[in-house]
Amino acid sequence: NAGVTQTPKFQVLKTGQSMTLQCAQDMNHEYMSWYRQDPGMGLRLIHYSVGAGITDQGEVPNGYNVSRSTTEDFPLRLLSAAPSQTSVYFCASQPVQGNQPQHFGDGTRLSIL
Amino acid sequence: DQQVKQNSPSLSVQEGRISILNCDYTNSMFDYFLWYKKYPAEGPTFLISISSIKDKNEDGRFTVFLNKSAKHLSLHIVPSQPGDSAVYFCAASALDMRFGAGTRLTVKP
């Protein structure tokens, strides 16, 4: 059982480049979310989805796009990378939105030069 | 505006002693609270949770206490073991989850 799989694990981009961070889960979870982790800030919610075809913004959505065409996949797109987006990105899922623990992937470490 | 705060960036305890990690929150709409544990190069893993209708939840060596009037929760680890050394995140949920900045726990043999 793979759980939540994130690819790539590491990536270096130049300012202005675009990139998609992949996230897939095999637990048939309806709710998926993206967080970024920065020193002293904890994990901050970027975007989330309560099911296929439905997405919404979290705390820090600017500069990021998401889509949810299937239950399994929830990619995060950076259209024009900025140094401020250097961070560790985590994808998470849970069965449905609400009071339940989330399952996290192992993260993508992204550096923007 | 951080709605969940962990004011201690780090904590060091001796093996066998109690570890107490603290967390404060500001949003009274939060009704579910969790603790996650994170090792380097891995994602956070769920440790223990508590609903707002309870004030204590225990799971083996881990106990979470909730004081709603003070908007405060704590995680007690007894006895602490070297394998408990990790970063611990407090989280609170009212549909969406908000996380604290984390506390790095070091348990010394």
Q: How confident is the model at residue A97 (pLDDT cuts 50, 70, 90)?
A: confident
Q: A45 at the B interface (CB within 8 A)?
A: yes
Q: State mean pLDDT over B70-98.
A: 95
Chain B interface, mutation test: which of A27, A87, A102, most B Cβ atoms within 10 Å? A102
Q: How far apart are CA B23 and CA A3, in angstroms?
A: 28
Enumerate residues 6+ apart whose C-beta is below 8 A from A33: A45, A46, A47, A48, A49, A58, A74, A91, A92, A93, A102, B96, B97
> Closest Cα partner for A93 from A42, A13, A34?
A34
What value does the mean pLDDT take over residues B49-77?
Answer: 97
Indicate the pLDDT class of residue A1, thresholds 50, 70 and 90. low
**Paired tokens of B31:** 């009704």
- In this model, does residue A113 exceed pLDDT 90? yes
Residue of B nearest to A39 (CA): B101
Q: Does B46 touch chain A (CB under 8 A)?
A: yes
Question: Among partner residues A45, A101, A104, which is closest to B96 by beta-carbon distance?
Answer: A45
Distance CA A62, CA B39 (A): 29
CA dihedral angle for residue B102, residue A47, residue A27, residue A103, rounded to 10 degrees: 0
Task: Tell me how far apart the alpha carbons of residues B98 and A48 are, in angstroms, rounded to a whole number.
Answer: 13
Is any Cβ of chain A less than 8 angstroms from the Cβ of B104? no
Q: Tell me if A7 sits within 8 A of B59, measured CB to CB.
A: no
Q: Do A105 and B43 touch (CB under 8 A)?
A: yes
The tokens describing A59, both together, are 């705390």
**Cβ–Cβ gap A90/B43 under 8 Å:** yes
The whole-angstrom distance between A48's CA and the closest CA on chain B is 9
Determine, for residues A40 and B101 on separate chains, whether the beta-carbon distance falls below 8 Å. Answer: yes
| Residue B31 forms contact with A (CB below 8 Å) | yes
Tens-place pLDDT, residues B2-45: 799 999 999 999 999 999 999 999 999 999 999 999 999 999 99
Please answer yes or no on whether A58 and B41 come within 8 Å at the CB atom. no
In this prediction, residue B96 carries a pLDDT of 81
What's residue A42's pLDDT?
A: 86
Classify B54 as helix, strand or coil: coil
Nearest to A102 among B6, B97, B102 (CB): B97
CB contact under 8 A, A106 and B43: yes
pLDDT digits (tens, 9 = 90+) for A6-21: 999 999 999 999 999 9
Q: What's the distance, Cα to Cα, between the start and end of chain B in Å?
A: 38
